[in-house]
Structure formats: C-alpha cells, structure tokens
Structure 1
Amino acid sequence: MSAFLSMTRTLCVLLVAPVLGAAAPGAPPRLEEVVEDTFSGVERVVAVGDVHGDVEALKEVLRLAGLIDAKDQWTGGKTHLVQTGDIADRGARTREAFELMMRLEREALAAGGRVHLLLGNHEVMNMRGDLRYVTPEELASFAGLEATPDAPGAPKGLEGHRAAYGLEGRYGRWLRSHPAVVRIDGTLFLHGGLHPEVPAKTLGALNRWTRQDLFPDAAPGGGTDAKGPLWFRGYAQEEEALWSQGLDAVLERFGARRMVMGHTPTKDGRIGVRFGGRAVLIDTGLSTYYGRHLAALEIRGDRLTALYPDGRVSLLTPGVKQGAGKPAAGKAASGR
C-alpha cells in the first residue's frame, strides 16, 4: 500500500509540475489558461511579504517558520506557503530567489504541501520592461540569458533580462502561470489590496483581468490599474472609517473573512492588523533595503500568529475582539 501511495504522489507531481514550473519548454503561456486560485482544508498556512532581491533574508524567514532546513530543502510537510509578490527589484539576488521558489514549489507539492507565489507590481513592471527599480547588480545577473548580445554602451544584462522576463523566457513563462490573488479557506492573499470597484465578481475573473497586462494584444487590465490587486493601498494607509464598508463588500463578494496583503511596509517592522482583523499587513520590510525586519504570518484556522526571530506573537485568537489598527507607513515610492 505504501508503495502504491508513493507512486500515486509521484504521478501527481509529474502531472501538476508543468503548471507550477512554466519554465519548462513547450508552448508559451496563454491568458486563457486557468490558474488555481482556491484551496480549502489547509491546516497551516505561512505567508511572507515582499522580498526585493534579498534571498538570504527569504531563506532565514523560511527557516524561522520551519519550512526549509539548513540545506534549503522543503521541510514544511503539508503547510501552504504564500509569498505575496515583489521578489524582484531593489536587491541584487532576484534570480536566486526565483530559483529557490521554483524548486520549493516542486518539493512542497511532493510532500503534500504547496507554495503559492503571487504576482506583485514589481514582477509585472519587469515583465512589461519597466526597469526603474532594477539595480545595476541585479540587471548584470541576467547576463548570459540573452539571444543577442547587449548593444554597445548598454547596461550589462539588459538583453538577458528582457529575454528572461519575456513571454517565453525562463521567469516570464513561470510568472505568467501564477495568479495575483488566492483564497485559502477564509483568507484572501494578494500583493496590494482589492478596491471595491474592481470589475470582477469571481477570483477567476479577477486573476484574468490582472494577467491581461502580461500578454500581447490583450485589453488593459488590473496589473497596472491603480485600483487593481497589485497597487491599491487604501486598507493599509488610510483611515479605517473610509474603507470599512468597502472592505466588507469585497470580502463578501469573494467569499472571505479577511485579506492578507504585502506592498505597503509597516512603520515598526512588525505585522499589522487592521479593521478588527479583516486586514492583515505582512510587508514588514524583509529585505535589507527596507531594514531587514524578518517576519512571517502563520494561520491555523482563525488563529493568526506572527513569527519573529525573537518569538511568536498572537495576533488574532478565536473569540477575542481585535481593536482597530493605525495606518501603515514606510518608504513610499510610486513603484513600491
């Protein structure tokens, strides 16, 4: 029986791996492809915010959460890891972070868990050729991936970067196979926030609208829209009274009890809770660029816990009312 189960699990990995690792050769990704966005019956979820090229900080926080070992191998078992986007930019080691996440997707799946990499505004910016926040060191790390050499006088790695993020490039193919928003049991995970006026009534439609900006000849979509799930900051930055009803409406529309977001760094480098626990802010400034404030969010049912190097802190406990939180603050930049 154990041999049969092992063989069955291996077969499942082989069948699902092409969806999770779109870097494999074959037909280019298509907008019409359905990406998984809804999961249920998950005992433990760990969510990690913006990485911004700091692969060592990412590894450290994954070890803190018990998801990888000293050799960076998956040890999380059936845990679902959610990374809410913005692995790219501001740091030099984006490629290493991508490669780590690509491998952990496969290892987690084989162990009965999952890794959910979500699109952030910086991934979309890179796929669309907006390089405002790509450091020279990060750009140079893409050298060697190009089909044609860099033009004389051009920054090193420019053509390799363009090829890697392209529709058929190693990272472009992979990223285009991922959603912007997932729901795991009663929690929505995304990069920025969901404005009440987003033109979608289902997660499938929402993710398609967001991914439209990543495919040629598609209509403008939510990947660049200020009200889209990669950019909106209202729940993180503005007074709760302005957005409480809108947040409730969005959560009801998409069948969730709370929303977990990155994108807007918290003022104190700690995970923030707002709107009585209906909004959780997990961009603590993980990367060295933002101060290297290591943190992860753990969800077990309705029990939310912040994981820090100095210990665990209960954020939400079933039956205990959560008070209102203050708006988050941090380095504000148009592309953040």
Structure 2
Amino acid sequence: MSAWVPMTRTLCVLMLASLLGAAAPARPEKAAEDTFSGVERVVAVGDVHGDVEALKEVLRFAGLLDAKGHWSGGKAHLVQTGDIADRGAGTREAFELLMRLEREALAAGGRVHLLLGNHEVMNMRGDLRYVTPEELASFADQSATPDAPGAPKGLAGHQAAYGLEGRYGRWLRTHPAVVRIDGTLFLHGGLHPEVPAKTLGELNRWTRQELFPGGAPGGGTDPRGPLWFRGYAREDEAVWGPGLEAVLTRFGARRMVMGHTPTQDGRIGVRFGGRAVLIDTGLSTYYGRHLAALEIRGERLTALYPEGRVSLLVPAAKPEVAPPAPGKAAPGR
C-alpha cells in the first residue's frame, strides 16, 4: 500500500500534464492558471524569435535543462514571456521543447509558463509579415493539403498548425498573457493604465477573446494591452510612474517583468526603482544573441548571463539594534 500511493500520485500528475498538452480549448475562459504563490525560485526568459539553440543555452546555464535536454529545475517556475515565433527557423523546435518541458516540470513539482506574445497572436491571426521562408517551410508537414500553386512552401501547413485545432494553435490558445507569481506580474509588453480589466482573469479573457470564432477585438491587438504596450520600457519615468503604480496596485503586484522591447545594451534592465524589469535582451541571433535570464528568489533579483550572475535588486537589510550597555536595562517596547 505504501508503494501504491506515491505511484498513483505520480500517474495522476503525468496524466494531468498530458491532458494540458493535448486538450483543445473550447472558450477564451478556459485559459491556464494565472496566479501562483509560495514559489521559491522563478526564472524568466524573454523573446526567443526562432532561435531554439539560444533558448537551450540560456536554460542550461540557468540550471533548468540538463545535458540531455530534459527538465532539471525541480520545483522552480520558468516563465517565457512570449515571442517564440518569427524571425528565425527554429520556432517549431522551440515550441516542441517548451511543450515537453511543461510536462516534465509539472511532474517534478515545478511549472513552465509560456505567455502569449504579439508574434504568437499575429501568427494565429494569419499575419505572416515576420515569418522567414525557412520558418514557414518547417510547417509543411502540418497539412494534408498541399500548398496552392505559386504559394510559399509550408503556407498551408502553417495555417493548419496555428488554427483552432492545429498542433500549436490549440496549445497556444490555452495559455494566458499575464501571470502573477508572488507579487510579480509577468507579461510580454506592458499594461496601460486604461486596460479594461480589474482582475487577471478579466485581463486574460480580454486578451485572448479575438483568437476564437466570433471574438470581439481585444487585448491581443489593442495597443494598450499586455502584448503591445511599451510605455514603461521607453517613456519618461516621471510621466509613467503614477500609471505603473496604479496598474500594479490594481493587479496586486509589486513589480512588472516584461519582454517585447529589446534593451539597448543587451543586458537586463531595471526601471522605476525596480518596479519594472526588462528582460528582452535580444536573445536571438537576429538581435545579436545576447543571452540572459532573470532569477527571482523572494525579493532578490539576479541577472543570469553566460559569464556569471549580477545582482539587480537585493532586499534591504534590517537595521541592527545595538545591545544595551552593561548595567542598563533594554529600552521598553
């Protein structure tokens, strides 16, 4: 009996992971969880843009991927803030890697959170402006119908793969745009103070609604939404500080971690006194292959680079109280 119970729990976890990867989304409301607490270690990685080898290298030096390409992060949570797609030939391989790591991490007690980026939404909506010919061709086997005469190789497969019942479209539509982990909001772009949502559930439904038949325009294309807004990455802190504070308060967070806008120096950026952290360092070869990840342990934020670790935010030390002098009573409380 003692051996049966752990085995039953393990099988349940594996079955749940399998269902998460295979279930077809029915409605925008059926997104994955968006709020987590009590997570000891979080690692966040920004835009990948088809460079799966760069992604693997970052996950390895962050301690989340072993030499054989399997999850080694234990109970850690990995957050990838979107834009796996476009500008590189390895989009499909990156999707497949993250799909597998979702299952492996869950079985180990950890999690992988792939968030929607504007490029995933563009592909699901048929906007192929940034899809390279090599990337498009890699989807050719995803459709039983051949490409139309004169059409680029892989076009039919790409449309099928990102469709409602396609391998990647079905999977992507189950993911949120924003998650909160222990007081930190993670998302692709940013949140304008005027976003029409009061809770994370409302925000994620608004962002995903136009990915389903009959869905009204929403945050997937709205410039104020979590996939597009760049104000906290580019604009004057004095101008946008109050708006950022209001958004963080509304969604119960202390800081916001964003991709979408590449940092100018290829390093993780900190703005607004640590309330905004920019993690799109230009990881892909297209942007210069500046490899980096953000690690969060409680209130300690650390940038991880191939050459080592750099502290970004360290919790303030509690002031030391000097012991009372000999012969004197300690001050009253």
- Please give the range of the TM-score, normalised by the shorter of the 2 chains: over 0.9
Residue equivalent to 1:255: 252
Maintained 8 Å contact 1:270/1:293: yes
Distance in 2 separating the partners of 1:117 and 1:282 = 15
SS at match of 2:206: helix
TM-score when scaled to structure 2? 0.93
1:56 corresponds to 2:56: no
Using the TM superposition, give the Cα deviation of residue 6 of structure 1 relative to its aligned residue in structure 2, in angstroms.
3.8
Q: Are the counterparts in 2 of residues 29 and 176 from structure 1 also a CA contact under 8 Å?
A: no
Judge conservation of contact 1:10–1:110 (CA < 8 Å) in 2: no
What code does the residue aligned with 2:18 have? A
Name the counterpart of 1:14: 15
Secondary structure of 1:106 counterpart: helix
- Identify which of 185, 188, 193 aligns with 2:185: 188
C-alpha deviation, 1:265, in angstroms: 0.2
Q: 2:198 is matched with which residue: 193, 196, 201?
A: 201
> 37, 43, 47: which is aligned to 1:46?
43
User: Structure 2: 5+ residue runs without aligned partners?
Assistant: 318-333
Q: Residues 279-313 of structure 1, C-alpha deviation per residue, up to 9 Å, x if partnerless?
A: 00000000000000000000000000000011100
2:130 to 133, 142, 162: 133
Shift of 1:213: 1.6
Alignment-derived partner of residue 313 in structure 1 = 310
Residue correspondence of structure 1 range 146-161 to structure 2 within 5 A: 146-161=143-158
3-state secondary structure, aligned to 1:183: strand
| Match in the other structure for 1:220 | 217
SS in 1 for 2:295: strand
User: 5+ unaligned residues in a row in structure 1: which ranges?
Assistant: 321-336
- Report the equivalent of 2:284: 287
- Runs in 1 of length 4+ with deviation above 6 angstroms? none
Cα displacement (A) at 1:29: 3.4
Which residue of the partner structure matches residue 329 of structure 1?
none
1:145-200 superposed Cα distances (whole Å, 9 cap, x missing partner): 11311011100000000000000000000000000000001100000001100000
Q: Which residue of 2 aligns with 1:242?
A: 239
Give the superposition deviation at 1:79.
0.3
Q: Report the alpha carbon displacement of residue 17 of structure 1 after superposing the two structures with TM.
A: 3.4
Q: Secondary structure at the match of 1:47?
A: strand
8 Å Cα contact 1:147/1:163 also seen in 2: no
Distance in 1 separating the partners of 2:130 and 2:52: 17
Q: How far apart are the structure 2 equivalents of 1:292 and 1:29?
A: 38
Displacement of 1:219 in angstroms is 1.0
Count of aligned positions: 316
- Residue number among 55, 70, 75 corresponding to 1:73 in the alignment: 70
- CA change 1:10–1:131 in 2 (3 A) is same
**What is aligned with 2:118?**
121
Secondary structure at the aligned position of 1:312 is classed as strand
How far residue 35 of structure 1 moved from its aligned partner, in angstroms, is 2.4
Q: Cα gap change, 1:292/1:2 in structure 2, threshold over 3 Å: closer, same or farther?
A: farther
Judged with a 3 Å threshold, the aligned counterparts in structure 2 of structure 1 residues 2 and 306 are, in CA distance, closer, same or farther, namely farther
1:232 and 1:111 map into 2 onto residues whose CA distance is 35
Tell me the CA shift for residue 4 of structure 1. Answer: 2.0
Evaluate the alpha carbon distance shift between residue 28 and residue 207 of structure 1 in structure 2; reply closer, same or farther with a 3 A threshold: closer
CA offsets 1:197-238 (integer angstroms, 9 cap, x no match): 000000000000000121110111100000000000000001
Query: How far off its partner does 1:27 sit?
Result: 5.0
What is the alpha-carbon distance in structure 2 between the residues aligned to residue 267 and residue 114 of structure 1? 30
1:110 to 107, 117, 128: 107
**Counterpart for residue 324 of structure 2:** none
Q: Deviations over 1:126-160 (max 9, x none)?
A: 00000000000000000111131101110000000
The 3 A distance-change label for structure 1 pair 43 and 53 is same
CA 1:185 to 1:28, structure 2 compared with 1: closer, same or farther past 3 Å? closer
Partner Cα distance (2:107, 2:96) in 1 = 17
The answer to whether residue 28 in structure 2 is matched with residue 31 in structure 1 is: yes
Distance 2:43 2:14 in 1: 21
Q: Distance in 1 between matches of 2:211 and 2:100?
A: 23
Per the alignment, residue 167 of structure 1 pairs with 164
User: CA RMSD for the aligned pairs?
Assistant: 1.2
- Which amino acid in the other structure matches residue 18 of structure 1? L
8 Å contact kept, 2:140–2:154: yes
Please tell me whether the aligned partners of residues 190 and 260 of structure 1 are also in contact (alpha carbons under 8 angstroms).
yes
How far is the alpha carbon of 1:33 from its aligned partner? 1.6
Q: What is the rounded CA distance, in whole Å, between the counterparts of 1:279 and 1:28 in structure 2?
A: 32
